[in-house]
């Protein structure tokens, strides 16, 4: 604990490690308070992340992207299917981009970040903070502990959570036909199914699956086992998009799934004197857009930029100065609220069973597909490309 640091980063996940590395890259001394039982990552993990352009660029700046490339797959096209014939597609070629996103292995991401931290002389590992959230020799405590943060609770910050009554089911599947870099998403009622192209468990034939459905249905599928899950996947794809289902073919489930409850949440305060919330500790969104981690990495990018600029222009201010931290809050408030509102609106829109609503949402989806400028704008927002 005899560490003199500028910032203490509390947390063990990808957001916490990215923040520690980003701060160190700018010359800050960092104390990394993490759960010693969690790293190095080595256990089975079937989760996949969809990284947008801004997140990928940040990982490239941190020199960890080359280590992730063998565990990543580029998305060249995205096909979105409605529940009554609606369809919307996005193509990297039409957007004049090399790819729309990258799908990366969650465990590999955490592993390469942890390895990079091991090579940084400016990052000092300290024991996790515990419930008292005492800062070990650092004027700023950056809390990246996730949605159930103990340090946030110790500070008296309120975190409102609206449970959806749904759970997310994460799977790693092998497809009969090659994925060809195409991501699929079926908006069904009451579930949303996403297949993300991946190269595990079989090169060119893998998908990372994120399936949002009522909690009771998830519990039933987990109890019934792999065969029931495979059959449920086949039925869901055929009912909502038979042509896509034929192109993908049969899906095989070689590894056990994982599940977690879904909710919309947010902290009533993101920063105060000497502390700041980052990532899921500040906000929680539905995974239907695949933007949860991207929001957290966007927080990291913005916070490091704000702190570095403040050090250049007002070097007498501490990193924990609340006036400096409020600049970060202001810059991240709008994109976070917009993404939260978008995911919540889409979820509720496709949960409505009324025939007129069903027809209108599918018609709207197909109309958007024909308006090229609007599609380009939507892609730009999702990719969050770094500004020149």
pLDDT at 316 over 60: yes
CB atoms within 10 A of CB 315: 7
Section 221-249 average pLDDT: 86
Report yes or no: 180 and 315 within 8 Å, Cβ to Cβ. no
pLDDT value at residue 379:
67
Mean pLDDT of 119-136: 76
Q: For the chain, what is the mean pLDDT?
A: 87
d(CA 336, CA 326): 15
Residue 139 backbone dihedrals phi, psi, to 5 degrees: -75, -15
Q: Which pLDDT band holds residue 93 (cuts at 50, 70, 90)?
A: confident
Predicted pLDDT at 339: 86
Lowest mean pLDDT across 30-44, 58-72, 204-218: 30-44
- What percent of the chain has a predicted confidence (pLDDT) above 70? 90
**Whether the Cβ atoms of residue 21 and residue 115 lie closer than 8 Å to each other:** no
Q: What is the pLDDT of residues 165-202, one digit of tens each?
A: 999 999 999 999 999 999 998 888 788 899 999 988 88
pLDDT-based confidence at 4, cuts 50/70/90? confident
* pLDDT interval class at 153 (50, 70, 90): very high
Architecture of domain 7-162+262-383: 3-Layer(bba) Sandwich (3.50)
| Every domain of the chain and the residues it spans | 7-162+262-383
Distance of alpha carbon 254 from alpha carbon 133, whole angstroms? 41
Rounded Cα–Cα distance for residues 20 and 332 (Å): 19
pLDDT value of residue 40: 46
Q: Which two tokens stand for residue 195?
A: 């297949």
Lowest mean pLDDT among 18-27, 33-42, 291-300: 33-42
Q: What percent of the chain has pLDDT over 90?
A: 60
* pLDDT at residue 200 in the model: 84
Distance of alpha carbon 4 from the chain centroid: 32
Report, as an integer, the average pLDDT of 101-130: 91
Average pLDDT of the segment spanning 35-41: 58
Residue 387 has pLDDT above 50, yes or no: no
Nearest to 14 by CA among 74, 72, 55, 60: 55
- pLDDT on residue 362: 75
């Amino acid at each position: 604990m005899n560490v003199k640091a500028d910032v203490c980063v509390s947390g063990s996940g990808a957001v916490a490690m990215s923040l520690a590395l980003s701060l160190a890259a700018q010359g800050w001394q960092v104390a990394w308070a993490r759960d010693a039982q969690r790293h190095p990552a080595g256990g089975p993990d079937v989760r996949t992340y969809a990284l947008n352009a801004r997140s990928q660029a940040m990982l490239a700046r941190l020199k960890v992207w080359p280590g992730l490339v063998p565990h990543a797959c580029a998305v060249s096209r995205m096909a979105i299917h409605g529940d009554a014939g609606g369809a919307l597609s996005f193509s990297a070629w039409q957007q004049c981009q090399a790819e729309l996103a990258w799908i990366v292995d969650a465990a590999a991401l955490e592993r390469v970040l942890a390895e990079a931290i091991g090579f940084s002389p400016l990052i000092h590992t300290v024991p996790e903070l515990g419930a008292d959230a005492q800062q070990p020799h650092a004027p700023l405590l950056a809390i990246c502990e996730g949605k159930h943060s103990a340090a946030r609770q110790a500070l008296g910050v309120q975190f409102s959570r609206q449970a959806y009554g749904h759970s997310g089911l994460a799977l790693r599947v092998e497809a009969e036909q090659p994925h060809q870099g195409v991501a699929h998403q079926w908006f069904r009622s009451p579930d949303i199914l996403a297949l993300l192209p991946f190269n595990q468990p079989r090169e060119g034939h893998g998908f990372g699956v994120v399936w949002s459905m009522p909690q009771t249905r998830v519990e039933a599928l987990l109890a019934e086992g792999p065969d029931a899950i495979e059959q449920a996947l086949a039925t869901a794809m055929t009912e909502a998009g038979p042509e896509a289902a034929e192109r993908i073919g049969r899906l095989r489930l070689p590894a056990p799934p994982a599940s977690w409850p879904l909710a919309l949440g947010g902290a009533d305060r993101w920063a105060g004197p000497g502390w700041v919330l980052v990532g899921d500790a500040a906000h929680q969104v539905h995974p239907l857009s695949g933007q949860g981690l991207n929001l957290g990495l966007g927080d990291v990018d913005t916070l490091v930029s704000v702190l570095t600029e403040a050090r250049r222009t007002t070097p007498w201010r501490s990193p924990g100065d609340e006036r400096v931290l409020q600049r970060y809050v202001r810059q991240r408030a709008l994109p976070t609220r917009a993404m939260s509102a978008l995911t919540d609106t889409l979820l509720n829109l496709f949960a409505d069973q009324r025939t007129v609503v069903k027809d209108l949402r599918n018609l709207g989806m197909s109309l958007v597909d024909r308006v090229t400028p609007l599609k380009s704008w939507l892609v730009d927002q999702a990719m969050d490309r770094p500004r020149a």
